Copies of this chain bind each other. A is one copy, B any other.
Amino acid sequence: MPAKLTYQSYGKSAVRLTKVKRLPDRHELIELEVSIELSGDFADSYLAGDNSKVIATDTMKNTVYALAAAHPIDSLEDFATALARHFMQAHAHVYTAIVRLAQTSWRRMSVDGREHPHSFFGAGAERRRVMLHVTRGKPYMWAGIEGLVLLKTTDSAFKGFLRDEYTTLADTDDRIFATRLSADWLYDKPVPDWNAAYHAVMDAMVRVFAQHRSLSVQQTLYAMGEAALEACPAILVIHLEMPNQHRIPVNLQPLGLENRNEIFVTTTEPYGLIKATLERESIE
């Protein structure tokens, strides 16, 4: 037998949940995609087909719905904590539980200038998300967002970059900057109001995006990460990814026209992909 099993995990992905909270004056709508991933004493199922310690992924799915019924889900962070705690407490042979939640964006309708009590629009493609990683030691609560589409039509330059034999791109002082932000930050401890912390971080990053006079995607990304760390002292680390969703100026000269930086091809691929992780400087 030439092999040893050096890593294993399993779980249920894409458990989709809608919860309606029927309050007296209005309904609240929560829509989540949940994934559960467990590591632990499961090697016998790999090595010998012995399933006696295997929590079926179907059971994980049932557990998500059962706990959703009992839990208020006032924040993703609290619900993730309840799910992870369940698997860790119910099953001593689970060593690590990773709970991922991603929340579909909905926006309450207004009718005649008033918020409607129970009708909603689908909002943007972005999803607030949480990844809670719990071991028998410390929990790691990562919160963040995926797929937030941001675009600014000016205040973005890219010039003075390295030129080699394969460089054809021209310097530019004024280009469109469009991206789909993904960002995840690690709390060093629980905060009193997870939702307030989330919004403080997001507002800080969006404000920087809008106002920054960008010399590169890299520079703007860094400034956004720095603003996030400033906005919420409980954040230890933040990781950002920003694909550069290029808008390419159309060459109208062969058509007898001038392009005054107005007409662009919207592209999806290829795309630049810029990533970084920022950590809070320790004070000492």
Give the interface of A toward B (CB within 8 A). 1-22, 27, 29, 31, 35, 37, 42, 45-59, 61-63, 65-66, 68-70, 90-91, 106, 109, 111-112, 116, 118-126, 148-155, 158-162, 164-169, 176, 180, 206-207, 209-211, 214-219, 221-222, 225-226, 229-230, 237, 239, 243-244, 247, 250, 252, 254-281
Q: Let me know if A19 and B122 touch, CB within 8 A.
A: no
Q: Give Cα A229–Cα B268 distance, bound, in whole angstroms.
A: 38
Alpha-carbon distance A11/B243, docked complex (angstroms):
9
A45-B218 in contact given A61-B270, A265-B16 (Cβ < 8 Å): yes
Distance from A240 Cβ to chain B, minimum over Cβ atoms (Å): 10
Known A70-B257, A111-B210, A121-B150; judge A42-B218 contact (CB<8 A): yes
Select from chain B the residue with minimum beta-carbon distance to A214: B49
Q: Answer whether A66 and B166 are a contact pair too, CB < 8 Å, given A10-B273, A125-B122, A277-B7.
A: yes
A–B complex contacts, Cβ < 8 Å, 12 sampled: A1-B281, A13-B270, A17-B265, A37-B273, A51-B161, A53-B162, A54-B216, A56-B158, A69-B257, A91-B162, A111-B206, A118-B153
Q: For residue A275, which residue of chain B has the nearest CB?
A: B9
Q: Is the CB of B169 within 8 A of A56?
A: yes
- Does B210 lie within 8 Å of A262, measured CB to CB? no
The 3 closest A-B pairs by CB, nearest first: A122-B149, A49-B215, A14-B269
Q: A158: nearest residue on chain B (CB-CB)?
A: B51
Q: Which among A37, A210, A211, A265 has the greatest number of chain B C-beta atoms within 10 A?
A: A210
